[in-house]
Structure formats: C-alpha cells, structure tokens
Amino acid sequence: MLKGKSAVIRGALSLAVAALVTSPALAAPIDIGGGWQAEVMNGNVASIVPDTVTGSATIIQIAKQFDDPPEFGQFPPIEIAFTQIADDASTVPSIVIDDENIINNTGQGWTDYHWALIDGGQAWFNVSQMTGVNAIDTSPFTTQSFADQHGFGDPNKMTDFNVEDGFVPNGGTFNPGLLGGALWIDTDLSSAGPVTFNFKQFPTPEPASLVLMLGGCALIVGRRRS
C-alpha cells in the first residue's frame, strides 16, 4: 500500500545512505511533516528522509549505519527522538517508516535485530498494520515477534518488534520494508502536552564472533593481572 514511492524519494534515500559514509553526525532536528519533528540522538550515524503525509500518517524512510563494535555483548543502539510540534488538530496520529537502509559496518555479523519504542507509553507498534496482509518484509530474518513492555493489554499495541533466524554479514545491508509492509507507529494524541517518544534499534552480534571477542577480552584481563 505504501510502496508507490517516487524515483525522487528513492534517489533521496540513496543520497542519504551515501552521506552516512562522509557525515559523522547527522543529528539536526528535522520537520518530517504531519506535525512531527525527528532528531537522531547521541551523534549516531543516521539520516531521515520525509516522503509524504496522508490524512492519518506521515511517511518517512531512514538510512543508518552501525559502526561501533559490541559493548558487553550488545551493539550500542541508534536512537531517534520523535516530538509533536503542532497542535493535536494539525497532527497526524501515525508515523510510518516505509523502509530502512541499515548498513552493518561493525566488523561482525548480525543474527537478529530489534526495534523498541520507549518513554511513557505514548507510542506503540500497530501490529495489525505490520502482519497478515500488511506483513512487513524483514528478510533475511524470517521469524518475527512482538512484545509489550508498557502493559497496554491490547494485542495490536506493542512496544517491541524483534526479528531473528537470519544473518547480515559485516559490510552487508538490511532493508526492512523494502519489499513490502512498513513499521507502523501509532500515538496517543489525547495525552496531556505534546507527545514525545524515542525509537531505539540495535542488532545482536553473531554468537561465534561474540564468543571470540569475549574470549579475547578475558585473555587481555588475565594478562594484565599476571
């Protein structure tokens, strides 16, 4: 449904991917339309490309690059802050990430990937818009699962989306949503004050690589103590 992007938008996303190689920090807040602003946090390497705004959603693409090795068995996350910047009547309730271009430059392969919505329960993944006939493509990862860390008590409102049973090699790319579906985020505009939430995501290292890395760290610590 959302895959009819123009060649102009596709070209913009390609330029955003290319810019990741030369731009160490693309963290200036940008107006993504529909009454929303997005900001890449902590100097992470990511770029947001606005697409279009419908009557109920602002549609964007995201390019990002993971460069850092794991810390304590986990890659440092890339985090984007979304902030409502218009009044409720002028703000669309949904933010749709039509597709992402995620570059693995960490030196290790990935065996799964995770998205999480954090801060206050003002935002959630709309499961019905990401499964069934609306299923989001997450190849090469074939297993998808959701979790509710907030306690909404609604099977269509989840804070976490996880994929596994696949592999992205070092130097490879992961393009969720490219071949179908999208990450669909709904928000509660009835809450007091502007809605703000963070969109965090991170991969998990290949177990064999992680074991080698941890073994190397243990060896270094052992040498220092001797």
Decide if pLDDT at 1 tops 90. no
Residues 163-205 pLDDT 10s: 999 999 999 999 999 999 999 999 999 988 899 999 999 999 8
Mean pLDDT of 127-150: 97
Structural domain spans, the chain = 7-225
Residues 28-57 pLDDT 10s: 899 999 999 999 997 778 999 999 999 999
73/89 Cα distance (integer angstroms):
44
pLDDT at position 44:
75
For 148, counting Cβ atoms within 10 Å of its Cβ (0-12 exposed, 13-18 middle, 19+ buried), the class is middle
β-pair type (157-158, 196-205): unpaired
Residues 79-97 pLDDT 10s: 999 999 999 999 999 999 9
Q: Count, in order, helices (H) and strands (E) of the chain.
A: 2, 14
Question: For the whole model, what pTM was predicted?
Answer: 0.84
- Indicate the average pLDDT of the chain: 85
57/134 Cα distance (integer angstroms):
16
pLDDT at position 74:
86
Residue with structure tokens 């304590």? 72
